[in-house]
C-alpha cells in the first residue's frame, strides 16, 4: 500500500552504536522505498559532528555510493572500535538501586549484542543470562536462579519477576501478622496490668480488714489471759466460770 508519509531517520554524531543507527536507517529506507543514491544522500545529511568529517575523505560527492559511505563510517566508528568498551560495560553491569529486573535484563541484552556481536544468538543468550543473574542485587533471587540452572535470558527475567512478586507478597503478609501479633501482645499486657491492679487493690482491702480484725482478736486474747480463777488458781476464767466449782456443776 503506497503512502505519501515519509519516515525521517535519526542523526548520528559518532557517539553511540553505529550498528544500531544503520539498522534503523535501513529499516526507514526500506519503508520509504529509497534507492541507493537516495540512501547515500540521506545518510550524508544525517551525519553530525565528528561523523560528518568523514565526508571530507570522499573524492566525488556527486557520485557518492551508499555502500562506500557506510564502509567509511564502519571503519571509523564501527563496533569493532568500541567492542572493548561495550565488553567492559557488560561485565561490570550491576543492578542499580530501584531498578527493575526487566530494565536490567533489557540493558544486559543490549550490551551483550554490542560486546558479542560475532557470537551466535544461542551463545550470546547464555552469556547474557549468566551476566544477568550475576548482576542481581537480591542475594536470594540470585541463588535461586543459579540453582535452577536457567540458560535463557528471557526465561531468567520472567522467573526473577515471579520470585520477586512472591517475596513481596510474603513480606506484606509477614508485616500484617507482625502488626496483629504486636497489637495482641499490647492488649494482653494491658489486660494483665489491669488484672494486677485489681489484685493489688483487693489485697490492700483484705490486709486492711485483717489488720482491724486482728487487733480486736488480740485484745480479747489479752483480756482472756488476764483472767485468774480464785477457786483453782488457773488463768483464763473467773471463779464463777471455774469448772471445778461444785456450785457451777448441776
Query: Which residues touch 167 (CB under 8 Å, ≥6 apart)?
Result: 138, 140, 141
Q: Where does a domain end: 112, 144, 170? A: 170
Specify the residue for cell string 542523526.
Answer: 11
Note the Cα 71 to chain centre separation in Å: 48
pTM for the whole thing?
Answer: 0.47
Q: What DSSP string describes 162-228?
A: HHHHHHHHHHHHHHHHHHHHHHHHHHHHHHHHHHHHHHHHHHHHHHHHHHHHHHHHHHHHHHHHH-B
Summarised one tens digit per residue, pLDDT across range 82-105 is: 677 888 889 999 999 999 999 999
SS3 at position 65: coil
Q: Are 35 and 102 in the same domain?
A: no
- Domains in the chain, number: 2
Q: Are 96 and 68 in the same domain?
A: no
C-alpha span between 125 and 150 (Å, rounded):
11
**Beta-bridge mates of residue 146:** none
C-alpha span between 56 and 67 (Å, rounded):
16
C-alpha span between 141 and 156 (Å, rounded):
10
Summarised one tens digit per residue, pLDDT across range 170-205 is: 766 555 555 555 666 666 676 777 777 667 666 655
Summarised one tens digit per residue, pLDDT across range 104-141 is: 999 999 899 888 877 888 999 999 999 999 999 999 99
Q: With DSSP H G I counted as helix, E B as strand and the rest as coil, what are the percentages for the chain, rounded to 5? A: 75, 0, 25
Contact 150, 130 (CB under 8 A): no
The residue segments making up the domain with residue 45 are: 18-77
Judge whether 145 lies within some domain.
yes
Q: Are 89 and 165 in the same domain?
A: yes
Judge whether 206 lies within some domain.
no
Per-chain mean pLDDT for the chain: 79
Specify the residue for cell string 488457773.
Answer: 234
Specify the residue for cell string 483480756.
Answer: 223
CA distances from 163 to 15, 53, 108 (A): 38, 51, 19
> pLDDT band for position 20 (50/70/90)?
confident
Amino acid at each position: 500500500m503506497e503512502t505519501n508519509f515519509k519516515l525521517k531517520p535519526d542523526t548520528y554524531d559518532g557517539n553511540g552504536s553505529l550498528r544500531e543507527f544503520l539498522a534503523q536507517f535501513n529499516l526507514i529506507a526500506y519503508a520509504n522505498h529509497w534507492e541507493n543514491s537516495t540512501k547515500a544522500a540521506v545518510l550524508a545529511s544525517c551525519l553530525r559532528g565528528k561523523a560528518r568529517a568523514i565526508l571530507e575523505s570522499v573524492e566525488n560527492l556527486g557520485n557518492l555510493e551508499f555502500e562506500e559511505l557506510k564502509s567509511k563510517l564502519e571503519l571509523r566508528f564501527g563496533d569493532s572500535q568500541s567492542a572493548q568498551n561495550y565488553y567492559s560495560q557488560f561485565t561490570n553491569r550491576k543492578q542499580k538501586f530501584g531498578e527493575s529486573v526487566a530494565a536490567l535484563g533489557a540493558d544486559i541484552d543490549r550490551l551483550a549484542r554490542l560486546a558479542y556481536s560475532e557470537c551466535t544468538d544461542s551463545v550470546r543468550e547464555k552469556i547474557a543470562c549468566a551476566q544477568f543473574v550475576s548482576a542481581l542485587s537480591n542475594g536470594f533471587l540470585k541463588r535461586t536462579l543459579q540453582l535452577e540452572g536457567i540458560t535463557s535470558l528471557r526465561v531468567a527475567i520472567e522467573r526473577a519477576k515471579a520470585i520477586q512478586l512472591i517475596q513481596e507478597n510474603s513480606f506484606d503478609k509477614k508485616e500484617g501478622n507482625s502488626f496483629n501479633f504486636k497489637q495482641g501482645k499490647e492488649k494482653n499486657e494491658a489486660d494483665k496490668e489491669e488484672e494486677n491492679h485489681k489484685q493489688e487493690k483487693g489485697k490492700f482491702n483484705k490486709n486492711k480488714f485483717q489488720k482491724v480484725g486482728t487487733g480486736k482478736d488480740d485484745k480479747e486474747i489479752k483480756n482472756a489471759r488476764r483472767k485468774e480463777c480464785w477457786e483453782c488458781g488457773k488463768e483464763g476464767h473467773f471463779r464463777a466460770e471455774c469448772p471445778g466449782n461444785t456450785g457451777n456443776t448441776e
